[in-house]
Copies of this chain bind each other. A is one copy, B any other.
Amino acid sequence: MTSAEQPASPRKKVGRRPGSADTRLVVLEAARAEFAARGYEKASMRAIGRAAGVDAALLHHYFGTKDRLFLAALEFPVDPQMVVEQVIAGDRATVGERVAGFVLGLWEQPEVLTRMLALVRVAATTEQVAQLMRGFVQEELVRRVAVELDVERPELRTELMISQIVGLAMARYVIGVEPLASATREELLPLLAPTFQRYLTGE
């Protein structure tokens, strides 16, 4: 039970608004937040509209269906090509540290964190999205990383690293277990780096 509204009903007015705020962007922000917080099914068009200060029908006007709103809201926020080039490829002796630093840094940007959380949450319950994510992970991440490695079973190792990253996100941000959730980058880095280092380069 979470509805607290202003007593005076704000009485929206029909028709185009004066001025030119970029409503479309506001909607996307609201959608991201809502999807991240509640997952795909539970995030309702009406709630997203409300959060954006807009009627739900407008979302349909812009994006057609809820599916398409979701896709529009979730453009993957980082370019995997760049990540691989700048982080994985490079001095092999310190790759674990770089990966850990990169991931932890990424999560310190609120917009990125929001999108990642939305992805994880939704992938967990919506088969369609899980499938989409499987394809993305396999083709955009694993292949690109694995080719840089010089160990046996490079895909398996890459995926183990990713699984540690996803699990960490779940534990910190979805479940919110303490003290992990409040641990700083400086505390986590020395614990994570060796794990990634070993996954990627062997003993």
B160 touches A180 (CB 8 A): yes
Q: Which of B137, B160, B168, B176 is the one whose CB lies under 8 Å from A160?
A: B168
B160 touches A192 (CB 8 A): yes
Consensus secondary structure, chain A interface: helix
Instruction: Determine whether A157 belongs to the interface, using a CB cutoff of 8 Å to chain B.
Output: yes
Q: Count copies of this chain in the complex.
A: 2
Interface size class of A (residues with CB under 8 A): 35 or more
- Residues of A near any B CB (own CB < 8 A): 38-39, 41-42, 120-121, 123-125, 130, 133-134, 137-138, 142, 153, 155-157, 159-160, 162-168, 170-172, 174-180, 183, 187-188, 191-192, 194-195, 198-199, 203
List 28 A-B pairs, Cβ < 8 Å. A39-B41, A39-B124, A39-B125, A120-B170, A121-B125, A123-B174, A124-B170, A124-B174, A130-B175, A134-B176, A134-B177, A137-B175, A138-B177, A138-B178, A153-B179, A153-B187, A156-B179, A156-B187, A159-B171, A160-B180, A163-B164, A163-B171, A163-B180, A164-B164, A164-B195, A166-B171, A194-B203, A195-B199
